[in-house]
Amino acid sequence: MVDPHVVWAPEGDWGAIDEILDVLRDDLFTSFKLAAVLDRSDVCELRLLRAAVACLGPELARDNGLRPVLADLLTAIKDTAASYDSFVAASHPDGSYGILTAGEHNDGVEAVVSFTKEQMASAHPRESCTPAQYTAMWIDQPASAASFRAAYGIMDEVPDDFLETGVLAPNVPVWRPIPLFYGGSAAATDEPECNHLMGRKNKYTGGTFGAFCTCTHPKCIGVVVLDGSEGQRVPIEFVTQRCAKLPSQVVYDFSCATLKTPLCRLPHVARVVSFLVDRF
């Protein structure tokens, strides 16, 4: 599930939707005006919104009754977000909800501001934690499936629903949440010299991702159903979320790119886990 703030209003900026609303409500609506808005950089960033409006473009120009329907839908999304903000503010009148912002020491070194697991669980969707905060709370401290369930209000008798999560790992329950970090796209100039030609022939690799132990009697400990093309984050998220003690090594045929994720987002994981590529 993807939070609406990420899809429609990253960082709380509703500018792209406002621009489309202005065009839809324009009495002198033309397809040229709509095309100009779809070429705006902020609208192009919201690919789902832009593609949906572009698909409806011919019908929006032909049917005057469709434009107010789409405008009402986009307005309802904004109203729902505003209603949720009001709900959060009313629930925490002292403003104490969410994840605290990390400060800095006098020497410029980041100071980790402590917060509770319950605060992380109840944080506002637009809030995110720093790698240091996530490490201090969920990796450095003793973790357990019970503490995760308590922080997120999950009843003990409720089993992991693999039909909702797409992850089947019955003997490896969730111990930690997947951290939410913000990051912008950047040129891939520092990536290793490897090319798997992923996505060249098929848009989706599909299938499943299997996690196996390498003990004396190796076995499959979990299966992740891929909802899109295979990404290097899959093994990182599985290990970080479900291993009480991080493994010393992870063998993966895309480890050359996988290592970049913990180096940028989870330095502690990069320090204690070795990422290896097999002979394939």
Q: What is the pLDDT along the chain (280 residues), one digit of tens a residue?
A: 345 555 678 777 899 999 999 999 999 999 999 999 999 998 988 888 888 899 999 999 999 999 999 999 999 988 888 887 787 777 666 655 555 454 444 444 455 566 788 887 777 766 777 788 888 888 888 888 888 888 888 876 666 677 777 889 888 888 998 877 665 555 555 555 666 655 555 555 678 889 998 888 788 999 998 877 667 778 888 999 998 888 988 888 877 778 878 887 888 888 888 888 876 5
Widest CA span in the chain: 73
Q: What is the pLDDT of residue 36?
A: 94
Q: What is the pLDDT of residue 112?
A: 55
If you search the block for the tokens 């809030």, which residue do you land on? 127
Q: What is the pLDDT of residue 149?
A: 87
Q: Which tokens hold the place of 31?
A: 């397809």
What backbone torsions phi and psi does residue 184 show, to the nearest 5 degrees?
-90, 160
3-state secondary structure 221-276: EEEEECCCCCCCHHHHHHHHHHCCCCCCEEECCCHHHHCHHHHHHCHHHHHHCEEE
Q: What is the pLDDT of residue 194?
A: 63
Cβ neighbour number for residue 67 with a 10 Å cutoff: 19
Q: What is the pLDDT of residue 73?
A: 92
Q: Which pTM value belongs to this model?
A: 0.60
Q: What is the pLDDT of residue 48?
A: 81
Q: Which residues contact 176 (CB under 8 A, 6 or more apart)?
A: 138, 139, 143, 148, 240, 241
